[in-house]
Amino acid sequence: MEFAIRPYHPTDLYSLYTICLRTADSGRDATALYRDPELMGHLFAAPYAVAEPDLCFILTADGTPSGYVLGTRDTETFTRWCAAAWFPALRARYPLPAPDDVSPDARAIRDIHRGEPGHPEIIVDYPAHLHIDILPVGQGQGLGRRMMETFLDRLRALGVPGVHLGVGKRNPGAIQFYERMGFQPVIDADTWIGFGMRLAA
């Protein structure tokens, strides 16, 4: 099987949704958890590709999209863009669920209405943030490191001083991966860890 990492193209948008859903359960397939298969992509993949396509890279396996790394160079600016251009249409499409609805769909819809919470204590030193997801076909072959290096090199070329990300504590493999990449823990929350990396100017 031949793997390649290439820039995002608008025709990849559907694949972003698919990959996001199939890795949304702490790296495992979340297809069975959600009635609406688009919700995870609305939150964690598509807005980045739409807002900053130059910071979206696709992993292909024999030409088929099988992973991505994407993000924003400036979390504060991206948050404002989402509030103005991304979330309003989604809020009209997805009314708030009943208070007693605790389904995964309901939680995701509440996140859409809440918007990007942001973490000011991180973005001062690590203004960029990212998401990386790879389907099983591309795992365990060093491709995650190559994808991350592609993304970080792009941030360095843009002069971004630092980048952060969040990972759930139920995903120890991802935690170890980020630590090996040189990320340092900067937030230790109940269910997730925030990692940061300073980038050379």
Give the number of other CB atoms < 10 A from CB of residue 60: 17
Tens-digit pLDDT string for the chain (201 aa): 999 999 999 999 999 999 999 999 988 999 999 999 999 999 999 999 999 999 999 999 999 999 999 999 999 999 999 999 999 999 999 999 999 999 999 999 999 999 876 666 777 889 999 999 999 999 999 999 999 999 999 999 999 999 999 998 988 989 999 999 999 999 888 888 999 999 965
pLDDT in tens, 156-170: 999 999 999 999 898
Q: Read out DSSP for 93-113?
A: HSPPPPTT--SHHHHHHHHHH
Mean pLDDT of the chain: 94
CB distance 135 to 68 below 8 Å: no
Tell me the domains of the chain and their CATH numbers: 3-198 (3.40.630.30)
pTM of the complete model: 0.93
